[in-house]
Amino acid sequence: MAISRRTFTLTASLLAATTLGLGVAHANPVVGEPAPDFTATTATGETVSLSDFAGQTVMLEWTNHGCPYVVRHYGGNMQAQQDAAAEAGVVWIQVISSAPGEQGYVSAEEALALNEERGASNVAHIFMDPEGVIGRAYDARTTPHMYVIDGEGTLRYNGGIDDQPRPRAGDPDPIPYAQLALNAVLAGEEVETPETQPYGCNVKYAG
């Protein structure tokens, strides 16, 4: 079954709020229902839609290179998960929703250079979302914020990368919620914990 071709469009209220600078309006994506489709420009200049990945599992990762939580996970954890996902045929997509002038905003060239510097070689695409359209469609709140979408276009996971915002020496190993969700989807199983609380820096939306 092909991924849903439903294209996300701004509602009148969201458009008004964005245009008038009245704050950030968010959608309410539901686990178990079609993930919001979108079309956006990647850091390499391609125009790509989520629906282009019909039949493939997709991991969405909201990122902000200036966020300390992102920096911590890019100490090796995030790259290891990206590498394992690529081996399993997963399409790993980063989304940068930081507005111009805000922490985490980068040009396309800078976004590509950042991944090269930190060895994130298995990111399939970086979506540049400075107006926050994709972020609002997914109600992305933090960096990182992770989503798993199965090959039928169904949102299967929404939440944190794990359960340890501030790990300390002697703490138990983190529960890697996003990785466990991805593994379950790849195995054709139900996700045991499909929604968790994301943690990190607030996404730096415009307005």
Q: Which residues of the chain have pLDDT under 50?
A: 1-24
State CA 93 to chain mean position distance: 7
User: pLDDT (tens digit, 9 = 90+) per residue, 88-133?
Assistant: 999 999 999 999 999 999 999 999 999 999 999 999 999 999 999 9
Give DSSP secondary structure letters for 44-70.
TS-EEEGGGGTTS-EEEEE--TT-HHH
**CA–CA distance, 95 with 158 (Å, rounded to integer):** 14
Look at residue 26 in the predicted model and tell me its pLDDT. Answer: 66
Look at residue 23 in the predicted model and tell me its pLDDT. Answer: 42
Element (DSSP H or E) covering residue 12: helix 12-20
Element (DSSP H or E) covering residue 40: strand 39-41
- How many other C-beta atoms lie within 10 A of the C-beta of residue 44? 12
- Say what the pTM is: 0.87
Fold topology of 26-164+171-202: Glutaredoxin (3.40.30)
Question: If you search the block for the tokens 């458009």, which residue do you land on?
Answer: 15
